[in-house]
Amino acid sequence: MTKIDERKNIIITLKSMCGERKKGIDKRIQFIKGLSILNLIIAIICSGIIIATIILEPLGLGYFKWEMMGLLTILNINFVLPLPKFFFEFKLLNHHNKISDKKDFIGIEKLNAELKTIVNQLNKDVKYNMFYLPLILVILISGIVQVTFEDSNPYWNYIKIPVLLFFGMTITKFYLTNTKLTKNINQTERQCCW
């Protein structure tokens, strides 16, 4: 087996958020692209409303009240959580197609080892992150209590901080992983073209 084949096998080990791959990589790319766009649009709208409410409501501006954001916050988490994984899977499958007919080159072993580390980190579920999971649970439970009992949740006002932390952690984690993955893919594709 060549090192390029080994790299393609590493890419295929990424656990998909959408189930098993049965229809081939090209159809998989199209499906994930559509799903990512839909999730991204909904996540941007929901996140925008939530963040605008958190920032503008104390200033007396804005159209929405934080007390009414329980359901929207729960929905937003469900759309934001899978987005990075969809993006990384899309990126890796595109890379798989680009290198499918390429030859080995000097230094590919190191790039493959780095890629394997990145893919292994992506395959870890949220449950392994000791800060991320409790934050999500606090937001979801408070959101459910807020939706169910509305006026009976005196702690809902304090959930603004965990919501902002959730957004900050998600964006930071995405940025760091995307930077490493993009660098690895670009170096490999640059070397393959020589």
Structure tokens at 62: 């804005």
Which domain, by its residues, includes 112? 3-192
Q: Which residue has the tokens 């998989």?
A: 28
What's the Cα-to-Cα distance from 159 to each of 50, 97, 99, 103, 188, rounded to whole Å? 12, 43, 46, 53, 43
Please give the model's pTM, rounded to 2 decimal places.
0.88
Query: What interhelical angle do 3-12 and 108-123 show, nearest 10?
Result: 10
pLDDT truncated to tens, each residue of the chain (194 aa)? 788 889 999 999 988 877 666 678 888 889 999 999 999 999 999 999 999 999 988 888 878 888 889 999 999 999 999 899 999 999 999 999 999 888 888 888 999 999 999 999 888 865 557 778 889 999 999 999 999 887 777 889 999 999 999 999 999 999 999 999 999 999 998 887 65
Q: What is the number of structural domains in the chain?
A: 1
Q: Which one-letter amino acid corresponds to residue 127?
A: K
DSSP at 102: P
Structure tokens at 31: 């499906």
